Structure 1
């Protein structure tokens, strides 16, 4: 991939992560977009109800489509399915009995 392609990919990933972060903040989680030490965009998400619960989410292409990914390289949902991604992240970071739909 060319340098221009890498920049465009990082810009697209950041935009997807910002959209997810906005939706997660609306659900009561703390979320901010940052970069890994290698410069990859990432979304750091923390539970406000249980601060010890946190996750890192990435956005990357796979098989020609953009997906949200857990830090352990498991797919969360396609970026077009933002509501599904929000539900899955909230399910991991919301303490039992406090989940909101």
Structure 2
């Protein structure tokens, strides 16, 4: 069995996060701008003004592991901890 590429891991983690957020009642889509990195656009269904773009990048403080980040650059948690990321994001955007 082959190893997963970084791009494949990023896509997988973003789709998993989208699924968690969608199940929690938020709008969530994976978007990939032309020539840019993919991200999850997430919004509060009950307060559409509350939205965020979540991206994945390498986090130097954790040995260059893949982490989720808010659009303003703050780290959320390792990308392998999708449920934790979803909880942190719902805390920021409101639970309902």
> TM-score, structure 1 length as denominator?
0.79
**Partners in 2 of 1:86 and 1:72 — Cα distance?**
17
Structure 1 runs of 4+ with >3 Å offset? none
2:35 corresponds in structure 1 to 38
**Partners in 2 of 1:11 and 1:33 — Cα distance?**
14
1:80 corresponds in structure 2 to 80
1:57 to 45, 48, 54: 54
Root mean square deviation of aligned Cα = 1.5
1:92 corresponds in structure 2 to 92
8 Å Cα contact 2:68-2:78 kept in structure 1: yes
2:45 to 48, 60, 63: 48
The count of aligned residue pairs is: 89
1:51 is paired with a residue whose SS is: strand
8 Å Cα contact 1:10-1:41 kept in structure 2: no
> TM-score, structure 2 length as denominator?
0.82
5+ residue gaps, structure 1: 1-7
**Partners in 1 of 2:72 and 2:7 — Cα distance?**
19
**Partners in 2 of 1:11 and 1:47 — Cα distance?**
27
